[in-house]
Amino acid sequence: MKVFRILAWVVLAVLGLLAVALALAFALFDGNRLKAEVSKAVLEQYQRTLVIEGQPQLSVWPDVGVVLGAVTLSERGSREPFAAMQSARVSVALWPLLGRQVQVHELAVKGLKAAVVRRKDGSLNIDDLLKRAASEPAERAGAQPPTQALRIDIAGLALTDGQLSWRDERSGQQLRIDQLDLSTGRVQADTGAKTASIERLSVRVAGRSATDGLSLSVDAPKLQLAPDRFSGDAVTIGALLQGQGRSAKLQLSLGALQGQGQVLRIGALSGSAELSHPDMPRKPLQLPLQGSLAVDLGKGSASLALATRFDQSKIASRVEVRSFSPLALGFDLEVDQLNIDQYLPPKASPVAGGQGGAGADPGLDLSALKGAPAVQGRVRVGALQVSGLKLSELDARMALAGGQLTVSPLSLKLYQGSAAGSLAVNAHEQRVSVRQTLSDVSIEPLMKDVLAKDLLEGRGTVVLDVQARGQTLSEFKKTLAGSASVSLRDGALKGINLAQSLREIKARIGQGQSTQAAQAAQKTDFSELAASFKIAGGVARSDDLRMKSPFLRLSGAGEVDLPGGQLNYLARVSAVASGQGQGGKDAADLKGLTLAVRASGPFDALKYQLDWGAMLQESAKAQIEEKKREVKTRAEEAVKDKARDLLKGVLGR
């Protein structure tokens, strides 16, 4: 009994001393002095100005608590604001502190604001804070002996009405979070065992990027962390991006989380994506998602495998985060078949002259590539249709860095032939370059699908080496420059029958010039057709057009005005003696005649002008040249005869 009385008196004494200590702490607490000392320390260590409005409030019973009012922190070496907070409150249970246990009954922060800026030189306005935070733990570990383990038990965290912003002065990219709310249930941690658990984690974010609004939600029922393992119940994620009538919505459910060491794996990932746009003929577009995720914090890498299907298309992709800082990505995308045209708005009908109607000059903004992370990847598509173009076995390797996108090699099959080459995009100069060789391609269906024109038949090779720059499609056409060539065989030039025109020549000689519109039923067969072009200002010029057939020979020169949608070509057609080919039975009578044909006008309304005067001039020139050759031949023969007679006289024979 005496022992119990002694213990009781000891307990009472301890309680009395603790009460006196708390009373003294409360009485001696000087909020203004505390503000001054903290502000001085921040200014000396960080060269930032810390302002705490009002006086911090201290409570000691039944919990130890501190309440702060508005707080602002400046940029380094400036009085410009960097971060601010409306208020904060923390309350800690008193008794557990005696056993080195921290039981927080309340931890609430309201109205936290911060603005992060990446300057043009690549530095961040928080570099000093990050470096200091990284160095302080090592400094304390080297200067102080190891401390005892601390157990933390927080009833709940609450961050409300937060606002964050990001501005990249190099790329002009901006992101603003107008509403950030974070809350948890119970949070427990043991610094000795290095374990932690979080219950009912909830994150809500709403903000804007450029003209688009965005929102994000994350809910995790329970997360548990230990030195050698990580686990958690299913996590749900929701994201929404919308603006100007378009939207992208994502819903994901991450299966049970499993981690070992610094590697986290999510073996089952499922959800859906929903896309809509006012110009999409089918809306909204819904995509089911299935996949898996792995993150290696030690190596700073992650990989995501994702598969989806919509309509008749099956898509499998793999994305790798090769580095978190700086961010570097890799990907592999494989699609069995895809018809992009059925998800795009119909093309506007062009007006005469090849120009689009009002609003038919779409903008080509490449600025999004400037702030994009480094990316390398590969795209493979079994069958693809885009803008009317039908492709197969597409295989492209891509690399994006510093605002420049390179696609090389780029290979595919199209229209009974194949294509190989490269594509380069420079976002800083708003420039696109294309190098491509189309081999053994059927030109007629290609022109029909791409240009909606039916001008040529035949198969052969087309070589392109062009580049253009601008902010709109029309600017790209006007700045197009480079070179091109075409070489076709066994085809036809549509819209005119040159053989028939030559057969009619006798009846029409002397009638002067004649103009006729291109006729779909008319065509001129050829065995070979070739031309090369120099392109500048969107105009392709050629002076080496050549065409051969059993009955005809054609040469010509002219230009193709792509911005204006106009053609202006002068061709000279000659008949050759042959009993074969288109109209060959009249060739013998027409040998030596040359027909001058000028093709001009808009692509969809070409006209052919037959210049008979030029033809007669060519014929006269040909006859004169023939007479010259005959005279020269007779003169040479006469000289030879004279020489022989002279030689006979000298020799006496």
Tens digits of residue pLDDT in 237-285: 999 999 888 889 999 998 888 888 778 888 888 999 998 887 777 668 8
DSSP 493-509: EEE--HHHHHHTHHHHT
Query: What pLDDT, on the 0 to 100 scale, is given for residue 367?
Result: 82
The secondary structure of 463-492 as a DSSP string is: EEEEEEE-SBHHHHHHH-EEEEEEEEEEEE
For residue 647, what pLDDT is reported? 58
Considering the domain boundaries, does residue 35 fall inside one? Answer: yes
Position 116 in a domain: yes
Q: List the single range of 386-390, 425-429, 530-534, 578-582 with lowest mean pLDDT.
A: 578-582
Cα–Cα distance, 52 to 43 (Å, whole number): 13
Separation of alpha carbons 384 and 391, rounded Å: 5
- 190 or 514, which is more confident? 190
Q: Any idea which of 311-320, 355-364, 445-454, 553-562 has the lowest mean pLDDT?
A: 355-364
What's the pLDDT at 129? 81
Residue-level pLDDT at 8: 46
**Is residue 526 pLDDT above 50, yes or no?**
yes
Q: CB within 8 A of 549, min separation 6: which ones? A: 524, 525, 526, 527, 581, 582
Mean of pLDDT values over 46-56: 84
H helical segments located in 491-611: 498-503, 505-508, 587-590
Backbone angles phi, psi at 131, to 5 degrees: -65, -40
Residue 481, in any domain of the structure: no
DSSP code, position 282: S
Mean pLDDT of all residues belonging to the chain: 80
Say if residues 391 and 412 touch (Cβ distance below 8 Å): yes
Tokens of 474: 């029309």
Residue 351's pLDDT is 43
Count of structural domains, the chain? 1
Q: Three-state SS string across 174-235, please? A: EEEEEEEEEECCCEEEECCCCEEEEEEEEEEEEEEECCEEEEEEEEEEEEEEECCEEEECCE
In this model, does residue 485 exceed pLDDT 70? yes
Weakest mean pLDDT among 12-21, 401-410, 444-453, 622-631: 12-21
Q: How does pLDDT run across 391-442, given as a tens digit for each residue?
A: 999 999 999 998 999 999 999 999 999 999 999 999 999 999 999 999 999 9
The pLDDT of residue 304 is 92
Residue 175 lies in a domain: yes
- List, in sequence order, every residue forming a beta bridge with 419; answer none if it has no partner: 412, 438
Range of the domain at 108: 1-139+157-183
What mean pLDDT comes out for the span 514-521?
57
Q: Is residue 469 very low, low, confident or very high in pLDDT (cuts 50, 70, 90)?
A: very high
Please report the pLDDT score of residue 384 as a whole number.
Answer: 93
Whether the predicted pLDDT of 512 surpasses 90: no
Please give the Cα distance from 619 to 613 (Å, whole number): 10
Check: CB of residue 252 under 8 Å from CB of residue 293: no
Does residue 12 surpass a pLDDT of 50?
no
pTM (whole model) above 0.75: no
Mean pLDDT calculated for residue range 359-388: 84
For residue 288, tell me if it sits in a domain.
no
In a domain, 471, yes or no: no
Task: Report pLDDT for 137.
Answer: 54
DSSP secondary structure letter of residue 147: P
Q: Is residue 598 part of a domain?
A: no
Which amino acid belongs to residue 379?
V
Residue 589 to residues 197, 514, 579, Cα–Cα distance (Å): 100, 22, 12
- In this structure, of 45-59, 183-197, 312-326, 368-382, the range with the lowest mean pLDDT score is 45-59
Residue type, 156: G
pLDDT, one tens digit per residue, over 118-132 is 888 888 888 888 776
Evaluate whether residue 417 is within a structural domain.
no
SS (H, E, C) 285-317: EEEEEEEEEEEECCCCEEEEEEEEEECCEEEEE
The tokens for 347 are 């093309």
| CB contact set of 632 (below 8 Å; sequence gap of 6+) | none
Look at residue 646 in the predicted model and tell me its pLDDT. 60
pLDDT tens digits along 549-593: 877 888 899 999 988 888 898 888 877 755 444 444 454 555 556
